[in-house]
């Protein structure tokens, strides 16, 4: 990760190398992070996957899961009922 003062960003904004995140400092303290869109999307997707994993673990711990065969049977029954009601 690169660390650059805000004056560097102001002077080189058009040609910033964003292959890795850049920490922008203001008065010597970290103030902002600049990263490219692909990195941001990858991180956001990874966080979403971690959240879904946590939800799944909670469902398992609470016993709120069903066997895949039971799920398939229920779906078939619902499809059959829906097609008969038409």
Domain residue spans of the chain:
2-35, 39-84
Taking the model in full, what pTM does it have?
0.60
How, if at all, do strands 29-34 and 22-26 pair?
antiparallel
Query: CB neighbours (10 Å) of residue 38?
Result: 9
Output 41 or 17, whichever has higher pLDDT: 41
pLDDT grade for 33, boundaries at 50, 70 and 90: very high
pLDDT of residue 46: 98
* Residue 10, helix vs strand vs coil: helix
pLDDT of residue 10: 87
Q: How many CA atoms, within 13 angstroms, populate the side-chain half-sphere of residue 9?
A: 17
**Residue 29's beta-bridge partner residues?**
26
Strand ranges (DSSP E) for 1-53?
2-5, 22-26, 29-34
> For residue range 34-66, what is the model confidence (pLDDT) as tens digits?
999 999 999 999 999 999 999 999 999 999 999
Residue 20 CA to residue 81 CA, distance in Å, equals 54
């Amino acid at each position: 990760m690169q660390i650059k003062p805000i004056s560097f960003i102001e002077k080189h904004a058009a040609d910033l190398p964003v292959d890795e995140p850049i920490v922008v400092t203001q008065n010597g303290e970290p103030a902002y992070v600049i990263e490219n869109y692909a990195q941001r999307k990858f991180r956001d997707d990874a966080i979403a996957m971690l959240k879904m994993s946590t939800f799944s673990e909670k469902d398992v711990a609470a016993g709120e899961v069903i066997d895949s065969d039971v799920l398939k049977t229920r779906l078939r029954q619902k499809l059959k009922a829906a097609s008969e009601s038409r």
